[in-house]
């Protein structure tokens, strides 16, 4: 990696770290929010959904805009909006006696800001790094995302001991300085400013999806289902740890951190391995990861006890860590710089919808039981696993510059 690019990569790694706080920091605090605001589990889950769905809707537009005017000119204001939404949620909790509708509104604002962040960081990595090191750097970004998932439950639990609404203020305190770093210090290649006509842009996108659509759709679904499974499980696990095992907030944060720590470690190590053997193992890491997530979900409702819950949660964390770096590399490498923003952001939309739908749907287990929810998820993974086996062919997607590490 060129020395002059390293500061940019380090700053970009902070973006997924701060973004994942948007949901993960709240998960261990959800039971406290339920009590303070008098919510049921489904209503508490909507605090996750209200963030994730707007983010998912905004992401494609952020991708198109970044293809036209550049990545960081979109990312920096988006980080400011993200932080502002968090501050508004915190202020609503402090000053209003019935803050729930305003919390939902502030989370929507926060989600709008989040839509112009992590996926553009991945796209910018694709712009800057044209050789097999791209897989390693994308693995680093996913590891930073995973590290955020590790830190955020612990931080959320610790800060939540002060007041349940304190995590909302953290978003503003962290995101505003990062926005300044992105705007002033991040490098961006000139060619990421796309001056082609909209007609040519649309034609090139059509060509990409016509040639690589099957690969991309299977990849999108794989990324979505592992994040749906992980966030749905973690929200449910947090509730079980509080109601069934009567653990305190920080203890819950420590346990929730275990699967996401293993996900982060797996993502980082796999990024290094992919650099050397990208086309040989990429598809198999996705298949093995999906299988491991399905196994954890299948066993979780069958074998009870806190230690079994933790063990099967780690299966899901490790499986997610196996899937995401390969998927990220496949998708960011499927398009040239001029269309990479939108293609990567469409993937981001699917990811966010997976995160958004997981907690409320898993929350329905209180009405329908664990087995129907978990095993329906296993069935969905089985379908996507078959699609992955049949449709994903890295040799058809990756450019020759990324296959150099296989020689």
CA distance 146 to 263: 6
* pLDDT higher than threshold 50 for residue 61: yes
In a domain, 200, yes or no: yes
Q: What is the pLDDT of residue 12?
A: 92
pLDDT digits (tens, 9 = 90+) for 196-212: 667 777 887 888 888 88
CA distance 200 to 118: 26
pLDDT digits (tens, 9 = 90+) for 203-242: 878 888 888 888 999 999 999 999 999 988 988 888 888 8
* pLDDT higher than threshold 70 for residue 194: no
Q: What is the pLDDT of residue 377?
A: 95
In a domain, 233, yes or no: yes
Q: What is the pLDDT of residue 285?
A: 93
CA distance 74 to 351: 20
* pLDDT higher than threshold 90 for residue 396: no
In a domain, 44, yes or no: yes
Q: Looking at residue 379, which CATH number applies to its domain? A: 1.20.1250.20
In a domain, 190, yes or no: no
pLDDT digits (tens, 9 = 90+) for 243-258: 888 887 778 778 888 8
Structure confidence at residue 287 as a pLDDT band (50, 70, 90): very high
In a domain, 325, yes or no: yes
**Domain residue limits at 231:** 3-183+196-406
Per-chain mean pLDDT for the chain: 85
Structure confidence at residue 32 as a pLDDT band (50, 70, 90): confident
Q: What is the pLDDT of residue 407?
A: 40
Q: What is the pLDDT of residue 175?
A: 93
Closest-CA residue to 230 (of 254, 252, 262):
262
Q: What is the pLDDT of residue 105?
A: 94
Structure confidence at residue 192 as a pLDDT band (50, 70, 90): very low
Q: What is the pLDDT of residue 385?
A: 96
* pLDDT higher than threshold 50 for residue 405: no
Quick one: average pLDDT of 8-25?
85
In a domain, 191, yes or no: no
Considering only 67-76, 83-92, 221-230, 272-281, which range has the smallest mean pLDDT?
272-281
DSSP 233-285: HHHHHHHHHHHTS---HHHHHHHHHHHHHHHHHHHHHHHHHHHHHHHHHHHHH
Q: What is the pLDDT of residue 191?
A: 57
Contacts from 44-49 at CB under 8 Å and sequence distance 24+?
Answer: 44/363, 45/235, 45/359, 45/360, 45/362, 45/363, 46/104, 46/360, 47/103, 47/104, 47/107, 48/23, 48/231, 48/235, 48/355, 48/356, 48/358, 48/359, 48/360, 49/356, 49/357, 49/359, 49/360
Say if CB 249 and CB 224 are below 8 A apart.
no
| DSSP designation for 165 | T
Structure confidence at residue 278 as a pLDDT band (50, 70, 90): low
* pLDDT higher than threshold 60 for residue 406: no
C-alpha separations of 208 from 23, 120, 121, 217 in Å: 32, 19, 21, 12
| DSSP designation for 5 | G
Looking at per-residue confidence, does 287 or 29 come out higher? 287
In a domain, 357, yes or no: yes
Q: What is the pLDDT of residue 301?
A: 92
pLDDT winner (highest mean) among 124-138, 245-259, 344-358, 369-383? 369-383
In a domain, 244, yes or no: yes
Considering only 98-107, 272-281, 356-365, which range has the smallest mean pLDDT?
272-281
Q: What percent of the chain has pLDDT over 90?
A: 32
* pLDDT higher than threshold 90 for residue 75: yes
Structure confidence at residue 184 as a pLDDT band (50, 70, 90): very high
Q: What is the pLDDT of residue 108?
A: 95
Q: What is the pLDDT of residue 101?
A: 93
Q: For the chain, what is the domain count?
A: 1
Q: What is the pLDDT of residue 375?
A: 93
Q: What percent of the chain has pLDDT over 70?
A: 93
Considering only 82-91, 189-198, 291-300, 378-387, which range has the smallest mean pLDDT?
189-198
C-alpha separations of 380 from 228, 361, 376 in Å: 11, 14, 6
Quick one: average pLDDT of 294-319?
93
Q: In terms of residues, how long is the chain?
A: 407
CA distance 70 to 64: 10
pLDDT digits (tens, 9 = 90+) for 141-167: 878 877 887 787 778 878 877 888 888
């Amino acid at each position: 990696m060129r020395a002059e690019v390293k500061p940019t990569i380090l700053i970009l790694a902070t973006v997924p770290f701060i973004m994942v706080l948007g949901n993960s920091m709240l998960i261990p605090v959800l039971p406290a929010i339920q009590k303070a605001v008098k919510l049921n589990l489904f209503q508490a889950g909507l605090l996750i959904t209200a963030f994730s769905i707007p983010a998912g809707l905004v992401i494609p537009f952020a991708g198109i805009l970044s293809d036209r005017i550049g990545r960081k000119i979109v990312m920096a204001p988006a980080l400011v909006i993200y932080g502002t939404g968090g501050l508004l949620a915190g202020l609503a909790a402090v000053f209003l006696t019935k803050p729930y509708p305003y919390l939902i509104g502030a989370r929507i604002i926060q989600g709008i800001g989040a839509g112009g962040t992590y996926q553009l960081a991945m796209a910018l990595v694709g712009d800057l790094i044209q050789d097999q090191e791209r897989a390693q750097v994308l693995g680093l970004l996913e590891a930073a995302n995973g590290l955020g998932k590790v830190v955020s439950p612990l931080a959320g639990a610790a800060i939540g001991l002060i007041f349940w609404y304190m995590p909302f203020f953290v978003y503003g305190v962290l995101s505003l300085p990062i926005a300044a770093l992105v705007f002033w210090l991040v490098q961006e290649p000139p060619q990421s400013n796309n001056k082609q006509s909209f007609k040519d842009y649309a034609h090139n996108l059509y060509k990409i999806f016509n040639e690589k659509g099957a690969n991309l759709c299977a990849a999108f679904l794989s990324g979505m289902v592992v994040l749906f499974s992980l966030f749905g499980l973690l929200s449910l696990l947090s509730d079980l740890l509080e109601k069934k095992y009567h653990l305190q907030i920080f203890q819950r944060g420590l346990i929730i951190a275990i699967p996401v720590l293993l996900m982060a470690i797996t993502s980082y190590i796999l990024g290094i391995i992919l650099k050397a053997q990208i086309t040989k193992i990429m598809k198999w890491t996705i298949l093995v990861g999906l299988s491991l997530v399905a196994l954890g979900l299948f066993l979780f409702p069958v074998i009870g006890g806190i230690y079994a819950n933790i063990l099967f949660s780690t299966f899901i964390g490790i499986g997610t860590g196996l899937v995401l770096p390969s998927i990220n590399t496949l998708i960011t490498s499927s398009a040239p710089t001029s269309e990479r923003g939108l293609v990567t952001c469409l993937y981001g939309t699917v990811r966010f919808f997976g995160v958004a739908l997981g907690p409320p749907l898993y929350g329905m287990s209180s009405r329908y039981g664990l087995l129907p929810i978990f095993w329906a998820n296993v069935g969905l993974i089985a379908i996507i696993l078959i699609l992955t086996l049949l449709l994903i062919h890295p040799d058809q997607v990756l450019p020759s510059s990324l296959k150099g590490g296989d020689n």
